[in-house]
Amino acid sequence: MGSTIIEKIIASHSGRAAAPGDVVDVAIDARIARDFGGANVVKNIEDHGLGIEDAEKTFFTFDCNPGGSDQKYAANQQLCRRFGRARGIAIYDVDRGIGTHLAIDEGLVGPGGTLVSTDSHANILGAIGAFGQGMGDQDIAYTWANGTVWFTVPPTIRIALEGRPGPGATAKDMVLACLRHFHASGLLGSSAEYYGPATEGLSLDGRITMASMATEMGGIITFFPPSDEVVEYARRAGGASTPAHADPDASYSQEVAITIDDLPPLIARPGHPDDVVEVAEVAGRKIDSAFIGSCTNGRYEDMVAAAEILKGRSIAPGVVLKIVPSTDRIWQRCLEDGLVKVFKEAGALLGNAGCAGCAAGQIGQNGPGEVTISTGNRNYPGKQGKGEVYLASPATAAASAVAGEIVTADAIPGKPAVFMPDPSAAKAVGAAAGEPGAAVGARPTKVRGKVWVVDHDNIDTDMIYHNRHLAVTDIEEMGQYAFGNLPGWEDFPKKVKQGDIVVTGSNFGCGSSRQQAVDCFTSLGASLVIAKSFGAIYERNAINAGMPIMAADLSGVGLSDGDELEVDLESGTITHVGSGRTVQGRPFSEVQMEIYRRGGLLAIG
């Protein structure tokens, strides 16, 4: 039986055949820490007396806060600079752009290669047929020290996009159509491969747009078989290239066909990237701001698409349009080709290359009550600010900025919508701050505790631990922010007690790769988190931190807050103490138990 793309890449980097479910040590060609997470990687390296396996394959990329406008980010960046200088590690500083894009454009990795980063969208590398994976601080520290990291080979889903989209649709609309089909967890724990005539003709920029949103579908990574043009681009960039293509008889866990024939422009409504409708359904919604950029839509083609609409036009009165190219090279090309002049004459604000709004580190955030149309990849509550965020293509975002309301590029009105006086003003509501609890102590294989039932699916890491606290590196400080962005649970840190158990829904911890979303529960002294399923990166982070988690469906038990559970981590047996009812959860794997018993991935065994 043949192999899929991810199975071939992992096999070539582990020295053994790779099948779904296998746990293997994978050699990593490029190992990246960003300004977000980088300081914690350094701390882990220094606290555990670890070395750097190969400095030439190790990199810092400062893309979350280009300019160091936040004091804690600036401090973390400088800490990383000093560490990099001392260890001979290359630094792509605040003037360079998004690390995953630099990895492609600077040839840090090529088709068939492997990369890990503290960026949850490292799977963008699937655009060139390379393996990229976002991981937490401990994983990255381990990889820096050893050059390898353990990984569970995922199953692969084959996605066939049938037909060709309409003339106004773009790669962003195509991937939004996939989100509409798969929703937030349809690719959970899986790799995927894109096929079909519309994908084969996609440029590298379009492939990057689609690959970047695998995370929003719960996927490990989505691959495009590398085209001749992509391979040639990687060759010119200097990346080593060993293109991998799936065998004709490769085995897939699913084969899915999605019709995109005559696809119109799409948009995701606020709160959920997968709440996708046609732009026509929300046309006329008044906007306050628009954002064009991010790792999903900050490429040169995206800038051109926006400029074509903005040329000779002005942004609607009272609307702010923020534009952020993904790399400085793209920024410079926009300057040389006259796009910057177009943007400025239209009235746009042009920012330094970088992540912008997604990371709360630069322009792109919005305020309470603000309505934004964005080309980003996430619009979870609080992710890009306190307002509403719609996700759309650069063409739709630029057209809406000109119109002052949501429209498609072919429906810009002669006169823009204007603001009417609004006597009501939204009030910012801060998250409740509790006191951090004690950390988990011993390593029991059976735990018993009082239950907190957080009955929600798709709780992302911004809801668990908001990005405004990302500069915190002391675990003891993290507990007070747990669930600080989850409506109704802001006071959780005040109520939880040592040894309590959190029970929640599916896809818990989806979204970002932040370790703090795990460590905040350790800080509070929670003994276990039970969910129907976990986001892939979150699950790794918890295992590596020695934080007990277990996958199980307790919906039929009738749990209420305050009930007690007894859980056997080795067998996976979960017992409701009051009724004696038992449920079978997923027991700890050998790897998970070994890491748990020694107190974490980086603990000396």
Are the beta carbons of 12 and 244 closer than 8 angstroms?
yes
**pLDDT score, position 420:** 84
Torsions phi, psi of 380, nearest 5? -60, 150
Nearest by Cα to 320 from 245, 261, 370, 265: 370
H or E segment to which residue 551 belongs:
strand 549-551
Nearest by Cα to 388 from 307, 489, 283, 287: 287
Looking at residue 73, its amino acid is Y
In whole angstroms, what is the distance from residue 240 CA to residue 226 CA? 14
The number of CA neighbours under 13 Å toward the Cβ of 371 is 15
Token pair 């060709």 is at which residue? Answer: 164
β-pairing, 573-576 vs 564-568, is antiparallel
Looking at residue 292, its amino acid is I
Token pair 């400029």 is at which residue? Answer: 307
Please give, one letter per residue, the 3-state secondary structure of 183-200. Answer: HHHCCCCCEEEEECHHHH
Cα–Cα distances (Å) from 358 to 23, 98, 272, in that order, read 32, 12, 14
* CA trace torsion 380, 381, 384, 388 (10° rounding): 110
pLDDT tens string 133-158: 999 999 999 999 999 999 999 999 99
β partners of residue 460:
510
Token pair 């989209």 is at which residue? Answer: 165
In whole angstroms, what is the distance from residue 560 CA to residue 576 CA? 11
**pLDDT score, position 335:** 98
β partners of residue 450:
564
Are the beta carbons of 349 and 320 closer than 8 angstroms?
yes
β-pairing, 320-324 vs 528-531, is unpaired
The domains of the chain are located at 5-259, 266-411, 446-597
**pLDDT score, position 24:** 97
Equal fold, 5-259 vs 446-597: no
Its CATH architecture, for the domain 446-597, is: Alpha-Beta Barrel (3.20)
Looking at residue 524, its amino acid is L
Nearest by Cα to 299 from 119, 467, 127, 65: 127
> Per CATH, which fold does 266-411 belong to?
Aconitase; domain 3 (3.30.499)
**pLDDT score, position 165:** 96
Are the beta carbons of 321 and 289 closer than 8 angstroms?
yes
In whole angstroms, what is the distance from residue 355 CA to residue 168 CA? 26
**pLDDT score, position 398:** 98
**pLDDT score, position 357:** 72
Are the beta carbons of 106 and 79 closer than 8 angstroms?
no
Torsion over CA: 187, 190, 195, 200 (sign): positive
The 8-class DSSP code of residue 485 comes to: T
* CA trace torsion 480, 486, 489, 494 (10° rounding): 0
> Per CATH, which fold does 5-259 belong to?
Aconitase; domain 3 (3.30.499)
Q: E strands, 387-426, where?
A: 388-391
pLDDT tens string 316-338: 999 999 999 999 999 999 999 99
Task: Determine the angle formed by the axes of helices 300-310 and 204-211, rounding to 10 degrees.
Answer: 100
Task: Determine the angle formed by the axes of helices 394-403 and 300-310, rounding to 10 degrees.
Answer: 30
Please give, one letter per residue, the 3-state secondary structure of 578-595. Answer: CCCCEEECCCCCHHHHHH
Token pair 């005539």 is at which residue? Answer: 197
In whole angstroms, what is the distance from residue 338 CA to residue 333 CA? 8
β partners of residue 320:
289
β partners of residue 453:
503
Give the Cβ contact number of residue 474 at 10 Å.
10
Task: List average pLDDT for each run of 10 residues in the chain, which is 605 residues long.
Answer: 96 97 97 92 96 98 78 88 97 94 97 96 97 96 98 98 95 98 96 96 96 96 96 91 96 98 97 96 97 95 98 97 96 98 97 80 79 92 86 98 98 93 50 35 86 96 91 92 95 96 97 94 97 96 96 94 96 95 96 94 80
Nearest by Cα to 61 from 102, 106, 30: 102
Average pLDDT for the chain = 93
SS percent in the chain: helix, strand, coil, step 5 = 35, 20, 45
